[in-house]
Structure 1
Amino acid sequence: MQRTHSPIVFPRWYSVGAALVAVILWSVAPLLAERAHTSSPLQLTALTLLAGALATLPLSRRVNVASCSRGWQLGIWAGIPLLILGAVSTYFIGMRLAPAAEAALITYTWPVLFVLLSQWSRLGKLRLAGVTGALIAFSGAALLLVPQALSSGLGGATVGYGLALLAACCWALYSWLSQAAPVSITPLLPRMLLIACAITTLVSVGFEGQLVLPSGEALLAGVALGLGPYGVAMVAWDKALRWGHASLVGSLAYGVPILAGLLLVLAGVSVLDWRLPTAALLVVIGCLNAGR
């Protein structure tokens, strides 16, 4: 998302409040995804993206994308929707194959990857703080991955962890492209979500034969995912970055993996052992160090 600030100065609590809304909604996403487990991941992705497009409609406005180079036009209208599709779908699939809290934690390593991409694109090299932060964060992910890989090989949960890591890569690339784009991406978000939803629907019909609307709890959870974590949260995050200091607001996002894991444990979805909080702490420390 574009990290451009408004010339109007708002009280600091405006930006902090908006950021906290986004953080809380993102933290609820793994629990909502778990509640929608009866729906196929691709159909859940399509429903979530559609609800997200509707929730972000107030942001939509005309942007002169035609003034960009052909490469950027392709990146905006094809690359970014495909990254959103990849991030959401691999996240949902990963959570079906691996424990929800652990898969969510691995996905939330994306800020470290985003920092590394930003440093490389701006400086042509990686700073020591960024590399050290990445090593700390991924040591937390390894704490979850390695024992599972040693005990069960490359199947099952290990594949789920790999897909969660792929989701993190997609979010990092999406954030980097949004920051580097020559035009603001935020007003285009509803249309890009609709494009991603259309592609997901076609893929779902091609692989699953038919598109079936989820029912009951899965339907409510899918709509809530789109309206909240992939709708209102993205609007709130955009406002937080525009109203306040990016460094202060950004630091609040590092609490998402801890809060998300806590909610899953309290809901009885995940079992708390020493590895999960230790890994969460390492991810947060790594993100903070990389973003210095």
Structure 2
Amino acid sequence: MQRVSLSLSTTRWYSLGAALIAVAMWSLAPLLADRAQAMSPIALTALTLLAGALASLPMSRKTRADALPLRWKVLLWGGMPLLIVGAVSTYFLGMRHAPAAEAALITYTWPVLFVLLSQWSQLGRLRLAGLTGALIAFGGAAILMLPQALGTGSGLQAAGPGYALAVLAACCWALYSWVGQLAPVAIAALLPRLLLIACALATAASALFEGDTTLPDGATLLAGIALGLGPYGIAMVAWDTALRHGKSNLVGSLAYGVPILAALLLVLSGLSELDWRLPTAALLVIVGCLQAGR
């Protein structure tokens, strides 16, 4: 009995440590993305996804994906890579057209959208807690845009496209998580192949729309590789491990610390200025996520 209890305790601490690693790496994503700004955004997306595919190879294993109905094959091998490319590229683009901390925080409203989609698909309606949480979270995001809206309008006009791209990134991540929840096979086992397909799509889009095939300088290249290895590679492996071996409610609640930690790192690095809006918005996003997930 004592050995079983010790084993369960060790597993829980192991899952908690894995979740904290994922949260820390996700929090580094805005900082690394800023360090890689010398690289065009879609090319950076391709590099990031390639590094993420290599880092997530330990998750790859045989599944029964080949025996799925045709519609699920199309959705998994076509729709999921498109959502990944959309989420990552619009995130990078959003951070270049709006303040990094604000764009990142708006992107982190995706758990609320995911909860709303899950409730609608499972219950056929939206629960009051989900709608209330969504209003609180998006109210926090609206605070970030309030000074620009009350000013001359030029500030909002300049940052508006970045905010819109951040919302689009949040929508892509929410849809990706929703499809992954409904899928008849574990997405984690398919992740390396999905990332490689997404990398190929991003590479083709970069060649078509950007046309720049020159390699960036060493620091930019390292930042792009680190983005893939960390937030889109090791972090996803660690998160899958944490969810499978730990308590999902405890592990899931840790993810709400990502926007605060990410904003703090951006402030400490001098990339963002700390005023009342950023911590207030971060708190409202976290409260909204918790309320929506009740």
TM-score after normalising by structure 2: 0.94
Residue aligning to 1:93:
93
The answer to whether the 8 Å contact 1:63/1:183 transfers is yes
Matches within 5 A, 1:62-211: 62-150=62-150, 151-152=153-154, 155-211=157-213
Q: CA deviation at 1:211?
A: 2.0
User: Could you give the per-residue CA deviations for residues 82-125 of structure 1, whole angstroms, max 9, x where no partner exists?
Assistant: 00000000000000000000000000001111111111111111
Task: Give the stretch that moved more between structures: 143-152 or 245-254.
Answer: 143-152
The alignment partner of 1:278 has SS state of helix
Cα distance in 1, alignment partners of residues 147 and 162 from structure 2: 14
Residue aligning to 1:5:
none
Cα distance in 1, alignment partners of residues 95 and 136 from structure 2: 23
Q: CA deviation at 1:62?
A: 1.9
Cα distance in 2, alignment partners of residues 270 and 210 from structure 1: 29
Cα distance in 1, alignment partners of residues 66 and 55 from structure 2: 26
Q: CA deviation at 1:15?
A: 1.4
Does residue 213 of structure 1 match 2:215?
Answer: yes
Cα distance in 2, alignment partners of residues 170 and 249 from structure 1: 22
Name which one, 1 or 2, has greater alpha-carbon Rg. 2
Unaligned runs of 5+ in 1: 1-7
Q: CA deviation at 1:209?
A: 2.0
Cα distance in 2, alignment partners of residues 192 and 16 from structure 1: 27
Cα distance in 2, alignment partners of residues 51 and 188 from structure 1: 16
Residue aligning to 1:30:
30
The answer to whether the 8 Å contact 2:60/2:192 transfers is yes
The alignment partner of 1:183 has SS state of coil
Q: CA deviation at 1:71?
A: 1.1
Residue aligning to 2:3:
none
Alignment-mate amino acid for residue 188 of structure 1: L
Residue aligning to 1:288:
290
Q: CA deviation at 1:185?
A: 1.0
User: Could you give the per-residue CA deviations for residues 28-66 of structure 1, whole angstroms, max 9, x where no partner exists?
Assistant: 000000011111101110100000000001111122222
Cα distance in 2, alignment partners of residues 126 and 47 from structure 1: 38
Q: Percent identity?
A: 71
Among 248, 268, 274, the residue aligned to 1:272: 274
Cα distance in 2, alignment partners of residues 251 and 153 from structure 1: 34
Alignment-mate amino acid for residue 67 of structure 2: S
Q: CA deviation at 1:11?
A: 3.2
The answer to whether the 8 Å contact 2:257/2:286 transfers is yes
Count, aligned residues: 285
Cα distance in 2, alignment partners of residues 153 and 97 from structure 1: 11
Cα distance in 2, alignment partners of residues 223 and 87 from structure 1: 18
The alignment partner of 1:62 has SS state of coil
Task: Give the stretch that moved more between structures: 31-40 or 207-216.
Answer: 207-216
Matches within 5 A, 1:15-26: 15-26=15-26
The answer to whether the 8 Å contact 1:19/1:236 transfers is yes
Alignment-mate amino acid for residue 282 of structure 2: A
Residue aligning to 1:55:
55
TM-score after normalising by structure 1: 0.95
Unaligned runs of 5+ in 2: 1-6
User: Could you give the per-residue CA deviations for residues 157-207 of structure 1, whole angstroms, max 9, x where no partner exists?
Assistant: 111011001000000100111111011111110011011110111111111
The alignment partner of 1:156 has SS state of helix
Q: CA deviation at 1:68?
A: 1.4
Cα distance in 1, alignment partners of residues 235 and 45 from structure 2: 17
The answer to whether the 8 Å contact 2:145/2:156 transfers is no
The alignment partner of 1:166 has SS state of helix
The alignment partner of 2:186 has SS state of coil
Alignment-mate amino acid for residue 237 of structure 2: V
Residue aligning to 2:250:
248
